[in-house]
Amino acid sequence: MTSPPVIELEQLTVRLGNREILKGLTGQLKARTIGLLGPNGAGKSTLIQTLLGFIQPTSGTARILGHDIRSERSAVHGLVGYMPENDSFISHMSAVGFVRYMAELSGLPAEAALERAHEALFYVGLGEARYRKLGDYSLGMKQMAKLAQAIVHGPKLVILDEPTNGLDPAARVRMVKLIQEMRDSGSVNLVLCSHLLKDVEETCEEVLILKGGRLVHVSNLAEERRMNKRFLELETQGSRNGFLDAAREIGCECADLGNGRVKLVLGDGVEVKEIYRLAGERDLQLRRLSHRRDSLEDIFLRAMENND
Amino acid sequence: MAVYKRTYKSFTGILTPEWSRLLVIPRYAWASLFQQRFLTILYVLCFFYPLGAALVIYLNSNLDFLRQYIPIRQGGLLQIDGMFFFTFTGVQATLAFILTAFIGPGLMSPDLMHNALPLYFCRPLTRTQYIAGKMLVLTGLLSAITWVPGLLLFLLQASLAPVEWFKTNYWIAGSIVGGFLLWIVLISLMALALSAWVRWKVIAGALMLVVLFVGAGLSQMIKEVMRSDWGQYLDIVSNMTRVWMQMYGVQAEHPLSLEESVMALAAFSALFLLLISQKVKPFEVVRG
């Protein structure tokens, strides 16, 4: 049996007051880690809040791990852990008390909740500070406490809204590492909403880009990276005619750009060393060979430009 | 998982039933409240009057013992009837209000102050359950100093007095429970509403007193200036007293009818509920 998509959007429309914030979003996201990108006001936070059932869709619906957000809200909440963007805590509680409280509200029995609260706080690096009041925590520690409460009940999907907000570089690296570890554990799906492309690039396998409430691009980053590896740009010296024909014969797509420059897409099963061999056999000098480096920033900017 | 095995792990144990999760809220709130010495002392003081009343009921049923020391008229020390429990209700309701003014404002404001509501509502917990959980904090505490001791006093009297007393006064038990529960629900809603709207605990507590006294003051002012009784609708205590009078069969003058007082209290409750529901949301829409 195939597992359902992590997030499935079906003509999801949200209107707040007179403004349409999300405009008929449709798509499926299946990767273990999903990045949610978009400029300010694109509707990222509204989408998260709609998925969490905080906002009722005006029309359409969405499913999280196969559960409809409209009709199976309780089931959805049972599967999800949420780390909000802004400060969210109860200042007079100790971290361990707070995380345990949240675990119990998620349905964990009291003893298990206490045990997991300790574990979660150690996991996020707050083990030594877990008896301190949350109100006394630094911004970075509060972020980690928010992450601890989001994962304490062992959800199937963790939604992280700007998790690296306000963190210093060292804390940011720690947060990204934690997200990568969770991803690699294989037992949780992650949705990461961030305006920091670097964070998304380092952690996510799939990205969804929103602009003006519309879904403008869904991209599988792993697939893009694989594709990039097959896309070569060459600078050559000498006659290229025989070389281009030979490359086509082994299944590559080629384009001669003039001035010795060649663009080339490797065919299935063709390795770069084959290109070196073909050039060597024809005494063609390869002055430069580079893979296309289509960063997430390129993908993002292209999505923005294409939808202006 | 041992602490040294730091890795992400799903929870595979059995979850608690969904209905029981709202009980987590009062459990944590009570634990936190009883860490405060002042509130613990205040709470203990609230039991003094019921203990005194129990002593009076006991002595009233053992007059021969008392007559050895003090002269007592033939009718007995005092009559244990609707009026006795009406007075008991008045005293304990006042104490309940004072306790609520100290406890109530701290129930929701810490959640609202630091935006903790999304953390509640992203879990299998609805807004209604959240509000009910917060209400339970107060209803649980206040029940223990109001209708529970009231009912115990009633049972004490019923066990000590001749059976005819019970046959004549059995309805008082319902009045005790019903009368106190109405008051508890009303002041709990008031406390939560103020707690939701005023984030400073001290000010919210003071506002509770203001709501009570300003209502009474306005009512009196309207009466003096306009020679009208409609200002009585604003006086929560007066309306509640009117309902208690009916419940305990106390005959006394009151400008409003029972129906009018019930309507006024219902309107106050609805207003408080509306105020709570306006604030208890996982997020606020900023309309530009």
* Structure confidence by residue, pLDDT tens digits, A112-123: 999 999 999 999
Alpha helices, H only, chain A: 44-51, 73-79, 95-105, 110-123, 139-151, 169-185, 197-203, 221-230, 241-249, 272-281, 296-306
Tell me the pLDDT tens digit for each residue of B47-86. Answer: 999 999 999 999 888 877 777 777 777 666 788 999 999 9
Cβ distance B16 to A108 less than 8 Å, yes or no, reads yes
pLDDT of residue A187: 87
Domain extent, residue B250, equals 22-61+77-279
| Per-residue tokens: A95 | 């971290």
Residues 6+ apart with CB under 8 A from A69: A50, A51, A53, A57, A61, A62, A63, A76
Cβ distance A123 to B32 less than 8 Å, yes or no, reads no
Q: Compare CB distances from A77 to B13, B110, B122 and report the shortest one's residue.
A: B122
In a domain, B10, yes or no: no
Q: Which residues of B touch A105 (CB under 8 A)?
A: 21, 24-25, 120, 123, 125
Cα–Cα distance for residue pair B287/B184, rounded to 1 Å: 37
| Per-residue tokens: A268 | 């299935």
Supply the angle between the helices B105-113 and B82-103 in degrees, to the nearest 10: 20
In a domain, B4, yes or no: no
In a domain, B69, yes or no: no
pLDDT of residue B1: 46
SS3 A226: helix
Q: Which residues of A touch B284 (CB under 8 A)?
A: none
B2 pLDDT exceeds 50?
no
Total structural domains within chain B:
1
pLDDT of residue A95: 96
SS3 A53: coil
Tell me the pLDDT tens digit for each residue of B198-217. Answer: 878 888 888 888 888 888 88
Q: Which residues of A touch B120 (CB under 8 A)?
A: 105
- Alpha carbon separation from A286 to A93, A196, A234, A252 (Å, rounded): 65, 37, 7, 17
Q: What is the mean pLDDT of chain A?
A: 90
Nearest chain A residue to B113 by CA: give it. Answer: A90
Residues 6+ apart with CB under 8 A from A226: none
3-state SS record for chain B:
CCCCCCCCCCCCCCCCCHHHHHHHHHHHHHHHHCCCHHHHHHHHHCCHHHHHHHHHHHHHCCHHHHHCCCCCCCCCCCCCCHHHHHHHHHHHHHHHHHHHHHHCHHHHHHHHHCCCHHHHHCCCCCHHHHHHHHHHHHHHHHHCCCHHHHHHHHHHHHHHCCHHHHHHHCHHHHHHHHHHHHHHHHHHHHHHHHHHHCCCHHHHHHHHHHHHHHHHHHHHHHHHHHCCCHHHHHCHHHHHHHHHHHHHCCCCCCCCCHHHHHHHHHHHHHHHHHHHHHHCCCCCCCCC
| Per-residue tokens: B231 | 């200002």
In a domain, B158, yes or no: yes
In a domain, B143, yes or no: yes
| Min Cα–Cα distance to chain B from A110, Å | 9
> Which of B115, B117, B123 to substitute to test the interface with A, most A CBs within 10 Å?
B123
Cα–Cα distance for residue pair B188/B137, rounded to 1 Å: 9
Tell me the pLDDT tens digit for each residue of B86-131. Answer: 999 999 999 999 999 999 988 998 898 889 999 999 999 999 999 9
Tell me the pLDDT tens digit for each residue of B126-157. Answer: 999 999 999 999 999 999 999 999 999 999 99
In a domain, B159, yes or no: yes
Cα–Cα distance for residue pair A267/A256, rounded to 1 Å: 17
Q: Are B29 and A148 in contact (CB under 8 A)?
A: no
B288 pLDDT exceeds 60?
no
CA nearest to B153, candidates B60, B71, B226, B277? B60
| Per-residue tokens: B170 | 């059995």
Please provide the distance, in angstroms rounded to a whole number, between the alpha carbons at the two ends of chain A.
Answer: 41
Q: In 10 A of CB B226, how many CB atoms?
A: 10
Cα–Cα distance for residue pair B182/B180, rounded to 1 Å: 5
CA nearest to A195, candidates A158, A165, A150? A165
Q: Are B31 and A97 in contact (CB under 8 A)?
A: no
Cα–Cα distance for residue pair B272/B239, rounded to 1 Å: 16
Cα–Cα distance for residue pair B179/B86, rounded to 1 Å: 9
Supply the angle between the helices A272-281 and A241-249 in degrees, to the nearest 10: 140
In a domain, B81, yes or no: yes
Label residue B4 by pLDDT band (50, 70, 90).
Answer: very low
Cα–Cα distance for residue pair A87/B94, rounded to 1 Å: 38
> Which of B4, B6, B8 to substitute to test the interface with A, most A CBs within 10 Å?
B8
Label residue A219 by pLDDT band (50, 70, 90).
Answer: confident
In a domain, B37, yes or no: yes
Tell me the pLDDT tens digit for each residue of A145-160. Answer: 999 999 999 999 999 9
Burial A271-289 (b: 16+ CB within 10 A, else e): eeebbeebbeebebebeeb
